[in-house]
Every structure is written in C-alpha cells, then in structure tokens.
C-alpha cells in the first residue's frame, strides 16, 4: 500500500540545513569541531567592538565559520588610509559607516548569519545594555580607555573577552575573564586590569596613525582572535575549565623583523589567575555596574588623554597662513607671531625620519620628537648648566648642540604632523635654554602639516 504523502513527518530530519552541511563541510569533518561544535557556533552570538584592522578579519572568519549572530560596533566611517589593512572595506565604501560597509561584505560572504549594526562608539552609558545579548566579546579597538571599559564591562556581565592590539610589526593577544566567573571567584580568568592595573602614560601611547601599521600584522592578530573565539565557542563558553589546561599561556606576543634571516616570532607569556587586589574582578572590587552607569568612572581621565594638546600660550604659536607669508618674503622681513622683525629663522620638523622623507619644507631640519624627548630636564635649565651637567655623565643631547649652532638671533619655528608634538617640542627647547630667556623667538606652527595642506599647499602628501 502506497504511503500517503500528507502523513510524512515534516520535521527537519537533520540538525543542520542542507546548505549548512555543504557550506561548513570542511570544518564539520574535523574532530575538533564536529557536529556539536558547529551547532555551538550556530547558536552563539559574538560582539565585535571596532571594525578596523583587527575587527575586519575577525568578523570575516567568524561569519565564514557560521557564528549565528555577530554584532558590530563602530562609530567611524571608512577612509582611504584604512584600505591597506581593513579588508572588509573597499574604495567604493569610502565615506560609508564602517559597520554598514562591513555588513555589506559579510552578507555576501555568508547570508545565513544575523548581523546586528551598532553605529556608535562604546561608552559607560551604553556598554552594559550593548554587551548583554552576546555570549562573547572581541575587543578590536585601539585606545587604552576603550580597552579598560570593555574589559570592566565583560567582568561585570560575566562575558569572556578576547583582546588584541597591533602597532608597526608587533602585536599581542589576550584571552581575558575566562572562565567568566563572578568577581571574587579565584577560579575565574584574569581581566585587563590584572595585566595593567595602571594605564600607560599618554606620552607613551602611539596610535597606528602616528606610528604606522603593517597590514598583515594586524590581520594576523584579528585572525587569531577569531580562532580563539571559535575554540571557546566549540568547547562551551560557560565551562568552568578553560579550553586547554589552567596553566596555558594567556598572553601571546607576535613580533620580529620580516626577512629570511629574521622571521616573525610568537612568544607566549603564562599568567595565572586573577590578581587578589584587582579593582574589578577580585573580592575587593570597587568597580560595579552602578559605578559604571552612574558616570563616576571617567575612562578618558583615568588614561590621562590630552588631545588636542594645548601646551603653549597664544603668543608662542603661529598660524600656517602667517608662517607661509613669512617664508615667502626675504629673510630680512620674517614675520613672527603678530610682529615683523629682521631676524632670520630655522624650521624644525619634529616628525620621525620616515615621515620627513615623505615630504618636508625646503631647508627644514629634521629632529624627531622621540629624540627631543629622550632625556627629561627640569624647567629653566640654561645652556651653560647643560654643559656643566655633561661633566656628571649627562651630556648635552646632540639636537641641542645642533640648534645652538644656528644663528643666535634666528627664530625657531617647529612643525609636526598635527600640531601636538610641536608644542611639546617648543617647551623642551625652552627647557634647554635655547630661547635665551626671551631673546630668541621659538614658536610652533598651529595644526602642523594637516593645516598646511588644508590652508596653504593642497599637494602636500596626505598619509
């Protein structure tokens, strides 16, 4: 007797859709993933904070692996300078929100994943609500303030965190708050504050816009974030035991010099357990959900962010228009600040040598800011005092000697990329007595080459 087709069980016969078996087949047959691992991926949700050099490759591989829901957080738009490393964006999406640009690419890669846009920067007012719906968080941001905020929020909500960073040809990866146990439980994984109880000084923090970044390096770190996320998800995020042993390395460093004789290298640094006095994950924690949302925690202030720099008085600064006018005249008619005098001038470019070589003002002297600030001196130190100090094993820096050989009545104009380092450089020069009291005029050029390009010479290289 033929079976009545209307009585056939219409329930899905297999745990995955036919399309999913085909799409994820190459990882499904791996014992490390298998059917249960794929089901874990499908039911998981991951929040990626930052859709730049780290977030782009991480998102691509998580989407490709079949994570069920991916949230993307970023308040920036795509710029041309992003394209050499931020692989989800393209020339066609320059000017578009990074989140929208990324979702456009990811949807074409894997339309079965749910993508949730969050077009904004993280803040103390939003992180608790923003992070709550997700199982796992990836910190793909690039500032200390955001890293502390993201880590604190993950501890308070019991979310594992995979954090990475990269600069030039170096990178680091950390698996934090895993296992994600409540504050005070010593079996829980350490947080960002366990590694760095205090933030680095603002002067020591270099962004990729200032220090540069090699695309494949930040790409490697983002891929490693995705790999660690897949490992945690497949093993079960809420397990009280880590994926590997309790003593596994938790800080991974990627560094070295490219080339056949000096390859890139990985180092792993073990870090056991939470710090007993950590401000957020120990039993003595002072950071709570209430303090986070009340506004009493100022992460920008905590990290000492001072941007833009306002270190000089108005009379110690010169606009690019005034400076351009002064150098277009004979040297006997140089204009300094708001007055015209007969002094000559010296232009000091404090960008690093590699930037100086990209483009510079004719006749300018390159003294990198890193060289200027290599030695710290107290205020009101005269040149004669510097010469005397050399007898005590503290020689006068070479750049001071170089500038002291210029005409003593020549004004010194200092320029950098954005107008921040130049102000600090002016202060440093005066500390070394190069201003000879008030006899020699030393000033910075406001806005640096960014303003120079905008107001004077639009052909100056924009990098």
Residues labelled catalytic: 208, 416
Per the structure block, which two tokens stand in for 283? 């039993």
Write the DSSP symbol of residue 92. G
Q: How many CB atoms lie within 10 A of CB 457?
A: 13
DSSP E strand stretches across 38-99: 45-49, 69-73
Residue keyed to tokens 């059917």: 35
Rg of the chain over CA atoms, in angstroms?
28
Contact 158, 180 (CB under 8 A): yes
Measured from the Cβ of residue 236, the count of other Cβ atoms closer than 10 Å reads: 13
Counts for the chain of helices (H) and strands (E), in that order? 19, 15
Q: Supply 162's token pair.
A: 């995979």
**HSE (side-chain half, CA atoms, 13 Å) at 72:** 31
Nearest-angstrom CA–CA distance, 82 and 80: 5
Annotated binding site for Zn(2+): 191, 194, 278, 281
CA torsion, ordered 423, 429, 433, 434, to nearest 10 deg:
-110
Measured between alpha carbons, how far is 84 from 82 in angstroms, rounded to an integer?
6
Binding-site residues: 53, 74, 81-85, 98, 142-143, 191, 194, 278, 281
Say how far apart CA 248 and CA 266 lie, in whole Å.
Answer: 15
Q: Is 71:62 a contact under the CB 8 Å cutoff? A: no
Antiparallel, parallel or unpaired: β 170-176 and 345-349? unpaired
How far are the Cα atoms of 18, 27, 90, 397, 448 from residue 64, in angstroms, in the given order?
16, 11, 19, 54, 43
**Binding positions for ATP:** 53, 74, 81-85, 98, 142-143
In this structure, how many other beta carbons lie within 10 angstroms of the beta carbon of residue 20? 17
The CB-side HSE value for 47 (13 A sphere, CA atoms) comes to 25
- Give the three-state DSSP class for 46: strand
- Structure tokens that stand for 105 in this block: 């690419």
Closest CA to 349 of 439, 436, 448, 265: 448
User: Which of 63, 233, 45, 39 shows the shortest CA–CA distance to 134?
Assistant: 45
User: Which of 355, 359, 321, 325 is closest to 340 using CA atoms?
Assistant: 325
Could you write out the DSSP letters of every residue in 439-460?
Answer: TS-EEEETTHHHHHHHHT-TTS
Spell out the residues 6+ positions from residue 394 whose beta carbon is closer than 8 angstroms to its own.
375
């Amino acid at each position: 007797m033929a079976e009545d087709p209307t009585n056939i069980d219409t329930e899905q016969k297999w745990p995955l859709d036919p399309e999913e078996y085909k799409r994820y087949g190459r990882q499904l047959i791996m014992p490390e993933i298998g059917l249960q691992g794929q089901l874990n991926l499908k039911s998981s949700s991951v929040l990626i904070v930052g859709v730049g050099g780290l977030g782009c490759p991480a998102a691509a591989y998580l989407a490709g692996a079949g994570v069920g829901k991916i949230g993307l957080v970023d308040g920036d738009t795509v710029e041309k300078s992003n394209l050499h490393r931020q692989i989800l964006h393209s020339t066609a999406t320059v000017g578009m929100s990074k989140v929208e640009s990324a979702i456009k690419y990811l949807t074409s890669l894997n339309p079965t994943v749910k993508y949730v846009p969050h077009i904004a920067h993280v803040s103390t007012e939003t992180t608790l609500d923003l992070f709550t719906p997700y199982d796992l968080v990836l910190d793909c941001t690039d500032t200390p303030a955001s890293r502390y905020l993201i880590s604190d929020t993950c501890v308070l909500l019991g979310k594992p965190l995979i954090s990475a960073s990269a600069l030039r040809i170096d990178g680091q990866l950390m698996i934090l708050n895993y296992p994600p146990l409540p504050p005070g439980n010593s079996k829980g994984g350490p947080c960002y504050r366990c590694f760095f109880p205090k933030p680095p000084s603002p002067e020591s923090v270099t962004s990729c816009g200032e220090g540069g970044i090699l695309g494949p390096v930040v790409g490697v770190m983002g891929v490693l974030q995705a790999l660690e996320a897949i490992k945690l998800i497949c093993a079960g995020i809420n397990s009280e035991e880590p994926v590997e042993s309790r003593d596994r390395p938790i800080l991974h460093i990627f560094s070295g010099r490219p080339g056949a004789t000096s390859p890139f290298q990985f180092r792993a640094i073990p870090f056991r357990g939470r710090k007993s006095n950590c401000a957020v994950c120990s039993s003595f924690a002072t950071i709570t959900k209430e303090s986070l949302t009340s506004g009493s925690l100022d992460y920008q202030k905590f990290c000492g962010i001072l941007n833009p720099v306002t270190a000089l008085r108005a009379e110690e600064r010169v606009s690019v228009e005034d400076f351009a006018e002064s150098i277009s005249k004979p040297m006997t008619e140089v204009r300094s600040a708001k007055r015209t005098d007969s002094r000559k001038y010296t232009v000091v470019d404090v960008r690093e040598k590699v930037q100086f070589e990209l483009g510079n003002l004719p006749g300018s002297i390159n003294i990198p800011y890193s060289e200027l600030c290599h030695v710290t001196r107290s205020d009101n130190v005269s040149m004669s005092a510097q010469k005397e100090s050399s007898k005590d094993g503290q020689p006068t820096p070479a750049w001071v000697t170089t500038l002291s050989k210029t005409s003593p009545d020549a004004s010194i104009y200092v320029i950098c990329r954005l107008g921040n380092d130049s102000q600090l450089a002016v202060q440093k020069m005066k500390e070394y007595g190069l201003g000879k009291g008030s006899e020699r005029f030393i000033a910075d050029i406001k806005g640096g080459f960014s303003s120079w390009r905008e107001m004077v010479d639009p052909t100056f290289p924009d990098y």
